């Protein structure tokens, strides 16, 4: 399986490209920006995008979704509880001094327990609200990989002081949804370096006493 992670945009959001060499199908998570670079990686692996998954509707994660949808025809998957963040995209753009991207239409609403089949893999959807109401995480059992969006980082957790954030809810999400996964699970956070769940349980200040 191809799994390329590239930091995109001013906030260096980790965009993941999962690809299946056999079928040439790809799933792209959080194409926030830098579409040319994403397309270069897809071309290098001879991949065609079949699904675009948004972990949450912050501009650094969703900003390039409409463009990628238009250029590939792939459906956009997102939890509808984050539509209210799409409604304030102009405000989000102003925080970063960016131009407002065109709104991505959500083709496939995601719910907790859904399985997105793409790129030769089953991506298990976990609703992990707190950083935003519609934040989701993707769990790949055979790879023991967790794409966490901005819910969990190496040594930190997602901020909850932005509109619709909830500090108690993010801790509940981490405890209820992540703590049942194996310690060796590789966490792909929304920003910064990869980590493992075991490492975060041991050293992450925010997860102590859970
Ligand atoms: Zn975010
Ligand atoms: Zn982010």
pLDDT higher than threshold 90 for residue 118: yes
Structure letter (DSSP) for residue 191: B
pLDDT higher than threshold 90 for residue 184: yes
pLDDT higher than threshold 90 for residue 210: no
- Ligand sitting nearest the alpha carbon of 162: 1
- Taking the centre of ligand 2 as the mean of its atom positions, its distance from the CA of residue 173, in whole angstroms, is 17
Q: What is the pLDDT of residues 63-102, one digit of tens each?
A: 999 999 999 999 999 999 999 999 999 999 999 999 999 9
Per-chain mean pLDDT for the chain: 97
- Say how far apart CA 49 and CA 97 lie, in whole Å: 29
Q: How many DSSP H helices and E strands does the chain contain?
A: 7, 14
Maximum distance among all alpha carbons in the chain?
47
- Taking the centre of ligand 2 as the mean of its atom positions, its distance from the CA of residue 74, in whole angstroms, is 22
- Say how far apart CA 105 and CA 86 lie, in whole Å: 10
pTM flag (> 0.85)? yes
Q: What is the pLDDT of residues 191-204, one digit of tens each?
A: 999 999 999 999 99
What is the rounded average pLDDT of the residues 47-52? 98
| Residue 209: pLDDT band with limits 50, 70, 90 | confident
- Ligand sitting nearest the alpha carbon of 57: 1
- CA 29 to chain CA centroid, Å, is 5
pLDDT higher than threshold 90 for residue 120: yes
What is the rounded average pLDDT of the residues 45-52? 98
| Residue 15: pLDDT band with limits 50, 70, 90 | very high
């Amino acid at each position: 399986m191809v799994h390329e992670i590239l930091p995109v945009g001013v906030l260096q959001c980790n965009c993941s490209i999962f690809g299946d060499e056999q079928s040439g199908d790809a799933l792209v998570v959080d194409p926030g920006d830098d579409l040319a670079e994403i397309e270069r990686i897809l071309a290098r692996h001879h991949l065609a995008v079949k699904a675009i998954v948004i972990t949450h509707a912050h501009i650094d994660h969703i900003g390039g979704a409409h463009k990628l949808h238009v250029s590939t025809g792939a459906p956009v998957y997102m939890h509808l509880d984050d539509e209210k963040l799409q409604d304030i995209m102009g405000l989000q753009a102003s925080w970063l001094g960016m131009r407002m991207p065109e709104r991505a239409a959500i083709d496939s609403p995601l719910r907790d327990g859904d399985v997105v089949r793409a790129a030769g893999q089953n991506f298990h959807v976990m609703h992990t609200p707190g950083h935003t109401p519609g934040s989701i995480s993707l769990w790949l059992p055979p790879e023991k990989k967790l794409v966490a969006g901005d819910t969990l980082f190496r040594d930190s957790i997602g901020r909850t002081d932005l509109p619709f954030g909830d500090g108690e809810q993010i801790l509940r999400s981490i405890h209820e949804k992540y703590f049942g996964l194996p310690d060796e699970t590789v966490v792909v956070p929304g920003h910064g370096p990869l980590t493992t769940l075991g490492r975060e349980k041991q050293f992450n200040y925010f997860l102590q006493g859970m």
